[in-house]
Chains A and B, each alone.
Chain A
């Protein structure tokens, strides 16, 4: 392995755990590393408040941030390859419109947090289910699937509008608006298992299939001529990908942009071969969301919604990174 290549691997392997640790230590109540270590593993005595802060607040939240970041970035990378279109993000199939409608429906009836997440997850799957049925019925070409996604998104966006219109402007409407801005403040242990399991299973699936994803970037005819059964493979990727994304939007709300831009940065950094692109996207996505969520918790006395922060900080930062990598590869001057 060449020297810069080795350095890249080390950065990608070490950045997510490092930022995970930072997320545990930093906050309005600062924690020293040794205190955190003792609280985490129950060694020696540490105050109950500290233990509770680390174990019940920061640890689940950091896990959620890492999972959601990796989850969205991996799906984004896979979907951009699948649709042969670098402008695609995992939400293209209506998953986030469905989730937004589901969450808003729950919030309209002032349901519990778990019920809101369940409803968001269920409607995300219903939306993608509709798209998949449309796709299967009309031949599974990428065009049909994308147009199906646009139609279903538009439908659920309208339904969301309807809910906002009838929601109580003093209680339910602000809750809906806040949910739509995205954020991880709802990440408690109780809601984490589905996210962790689905993210884990999904990432294992994409890691196992990562070389085959290269084949899906060819045209249908070309891939078929190479002996690839395009239709089932494409639908499997879509199914696994959207279930993953549904599990993360159900908890994190509308965290835009990670699934669109992280894969670009990863591709500009390590190239388009999914064998390295998928793990690199996972690492960069996890690191990015861990960092952004830490900032969102700490920058101001009250929390800044992630959906706002991703745009304000992420976009300029990633634009510069992206340009730098493209220059290094000689693709822009």
Chain B
């Protein structure tokens, strides 16, 4: 079972990214929603590239295009529906990075269809 309230998350970066942080995904992302980008600092105080073990996808910015998936050299990126069960904790990990460890569920309520 996936954690509750993760509906709007399209893609998740999982364990294989740890220690790899290749950044091909950052280069192909058309909306710059994969963080932290190399050399970028963030106003909200999030850790920068050198301070994190892996990369994260911001679900509020992601447009669900999938461009990042095939370029990952270690197959770390999965559509939410295809995320292997052993890595389900990475859903929370991705959200937590974006919110600086203070995950705000309301932020992920994309307008309903």
Pairing of A with B? no
Chain A residues with CB under 8 Å of chain B are none
